[in-house]
Amino acid sequence: MVEAFYQPLGDGGLSSTKHTAGPWSPDSQHLGPPAALLVRELERYQGADDMLLARVTVEILGPVPLTELQVFAQLERPGKSVEMLTATLRTDERPVVQARAWRISRHDSSSQLGGAAAPLPPVENAVERERPDGWSPGYIDAVEWRSLHGGLGEPGPARVWARQRIPLVEGETPTPLQRLFTVADSGSGVSNRLDPTHWWFINTELTVHLQREPVGEWIGLDANTVVGPNGVGTANTVLHDEQGQIANGTQALMVRPR
């Protein structure tokens, strides 16, 4: 049994394991691992040492099956200080997820820090949570969840710590940004306001604006979902590590009765 989200294949592709399965279906992946896989490709693209990812938008083009995948990146808009990249994840038949990212050249702005949210209480103050009844195994079990307030299976705003238990790709140690994107898409799940047995609240994308790269294995989510009157909602998440805020995440939601 492969204890990772993906197993590398000899031709540069990757095989999806059961750990990528989302909580609603054993046949479709949670967006966390595919998003992290796209970020892995963006990080590996030329020039990464001199530049930082500042914003990544992950567009969901359709359900991601548990199958063999190919991922590649390319430069869309070159520049010395700012450039745009895209990365695409596809099956043999079609693209399933695409990321568009802005990279900005590194510069020392440490003397001008300000505006960050208050740090979350430490991980030691949080209570470990298991997968709620009725949720499918896979991704949820591959992440350790600790709740400060709300969280999996509880409606309303949530403040949780999360840490992936297994590597993104077998044989590799995940980078800090890969760890962030493995859990960033869970903001809408931990802060949902609707009964999942009666309502769909499916995100069509994930956008993460980064202030810095995370430190350590734990990622904190301070999340709130807003549901509008016409079938559209938004999940807003402030993302933390144990030193404080690292990013802001948003997700556009399609809200429908089942």
pLDDT in tens, 160-216: 999 999 999 999 999 999 999 999 999 999 999 988 778 889 999 999 999 999 999
What number of CA atoms fall less than 13 Å from residue 234's CA on the CB side?
7
pLDDT of the residue at 200: 86
Res. 1: pLDDT tops 80: no
Establish if 113 belongs to a structural domain. Answer: no
**Could you give the angle at which helices 32-44 and 176-184 cross, rounded to 10 degrees?**
150
What is the spatial distance between Cα 101 and Cα 125, in angstroms, rounded to a whole number?
35
Amino acid at 256: R
Number of structural domains in the chain: 1
Q: What is the pTM of this model?
A: 0.95
- At 164, which amino acid appears? Q
Per-residue pLDDT, 23: 87
Q: What is the mean pLDDT of the chain?
A: 94
117 domain-assigned: no
92 falls within a domain: yes
DSSP 190: H
Please indicate, yes or no, if residue 118 is contained in any of the structural domains: no
**164 within a domain of the structure (yes/no):** yes
Q: By residue range, what is the domain housing residue 216?
A: 6-106+123-257
For residue 31, tell me if it sits in a domain.
Answer: yes
What was the pLDDT predicted at 198? 86
What is the average per-residue pLDDT within 65-86? 96
pLDDT greater than 80 at residue 145: yes
Is residue 51 assigned to a domain? yes
Q: At 51, which CATH number?
A: 2.40.160.210
